[in-house]
Amino acid sequence: MSAPSDVPLAVELRDLRKNFGKTEIIRGTSLAVASGERVAIIGPNGAGKSTLFNLISGRLAPSSGEVHLNGRRVDGLKPYEISRLGLARSFQVSNLFTRLSVFENIRCAVLWSLGYRYTFWKFLADLDDANARTDEVLAMIKLDRRRDVLAMNLTYAEQRALEVGITIAGGASVILLDEPTAGMTQSETRRFVALIRDVTAGKTLLTVEHDMGVVFGLADKIAVLVYGEVIAFDTPEAVRANPRVQQAYLGSVLADAQATQAGH
């Protein structure tokens, strides 16, 4: 582990397992992500990438093993408890407050972190810090001109941006993005990767991604998940050179990605 011993790891998985009935989806995954590291999790379909995110964020409880967040054990906690400890996640399918405006979507995501909790004795309009932070986030995700539009009336790309906006709004130190660019066109993807890089600057980032162009654009380390096991966790170059990875999965995909990158 490269992190200095006095700074706790941002995310640490210890022999994590998850089975649904007799099917074991996550089979003893261990992973140590240092604070500020930017990690892409790749792997073939059905490798358990989304399940892994669900385990880390509390959507699912692991069958065995441990999840540590900033040095605290969090497996078995509720999603909102984990969220309060500084972890935020996005979803593969946009998961918005459809009947609220763009502004309200972001403001809802800001409230807890600024300590407003279940307040019913203050008006939202008077919460200057929450409203300022909301405006700031809207500017970051470039939706400030769409602030009063209902989330359900946004275009697909705008909904993906709002999805990321809700995720980062609360100022979490660890950000999990589940296929943030899924379904976007190539040019949209390129712009969106730049946006993600900006809004997650200085934070620990874990992202699940299929698009290798996005992976190389965002991550300084790659974790390869195959059938519920991390078979490699290293810098992109080292992962690319890893014979086990090539054998299991990467060979063809990497070749494609290099072709795409050359095309950029």
Partner 1 sequence: MGWVRASLPRRWLVWGLFAAVLLVAPRVWTSGFAHTMLSQMGIAIIACLAYNVLFGQGGMLSFGHAVYSGLGAFLAMHTLNAVSAGKLGLPVSLVPLVGGLAGLGFAALLGYVTTRKAGTPFAMITLGIGELVWSMSLMLPEFFGGEGGITGNRVVGKSVLGVSFGPQVQMYYLIALYCFVCTAALFAFTRTPLGRMLNAVRDNPERVEFIGYSTQHVRYLAFMVSGFFAGIAGGLGALNFEIVTAEVVGAGRSGAYLLFVFLGGATFFFGPIIGAVLMVIALVLLSELTKAWLLYLGLVFLFMVMYAPGGVASLIMMNLRVAAFGKLRTLWTAYLALAATALIALAGAAMMIEMVYHQQLNTALGPTLRFLGATLDARSADSWFGAALILVTGLALFELVRRRFVEQWGEVQGQIEREIERGKSP
Given a contact cutoff of 8 angstroms between Cβ atoms, the answer to whether 48 and 26 are in contact is: yes
* Paired sense of beta strands 221-226 and 38-42, if any: parallel
Q: How far is the CB of 181 from partner 1 (least distance, A)?
A: 20
Q: How far apart are CA 143 and CA 195, in angstroms?
A: 12
Is 47 a binding residue for partner 1 by CB under 8 A? The answer is no
For residues 57 and 69, give the distance between their C-alpha atoms in angstroms, rounded to a whole number: 10
Residue in the block written with tokens 């073939």: 44
Q: Does 230 sit near partner 1 (CB under 8 A)?
A: no
Residues 119-158 that bind partner 1 (CB under 8 A): 119-125, 127, 131
Backbone angles phi and psi of 93, in degrees to 5: -100, 125
Residue from 3, 32, 108, 149 binding partner 1 (CB under 8 A):
108
Q: Which is nearer to partner 1, 31 or 151 (CB)?
A: 151
Q: Which amino acid, 159? A: Q
> Does residue 208 belong to the site contacting partner 1 (CB under 8 A)?
no
Exactly one of 52, 55, 67, 96 binds partner 1 (CB under 8 A); that residue is 96
| Shorter beta-carbon distance to partner 1: residue 116 or 227 | 116
Q: Considering CB under 8 A, how many residues would be counted as binding partner 1? A: 38
| Residue 227 sits in the site that holds partner 1 (CB under 8 A) | no
Q: What span, in angstroms and rounded, lies between the C-alpha atoms of 219 and 84? A: 25
Interface map 160-199 toward partner 1 (x if CB under 8 A) = ------x--xx-----------------------------
**Which position among 113, 246, 258, 260 is part of the footprint of partner 1 (CB under 8 A)?**
113
Helices in the chain by DSSP H: which ranges? 49-57, 79-84, 102-111, 128-140, 156-169, 186-199, 212-218, 236-241, 243-245, 251-263
Q: Tell me if 188 sits within 8 A of 214, measured CB to CB.
A: no
Q: Tell me which residues touch partner 1 (CB under 8 A).
A: 57, 59, 78-80, 83-84, 88-89, 91, 95-100, 104, 107-109, 111-113, 116-125, 127, 131, 166, 169-170
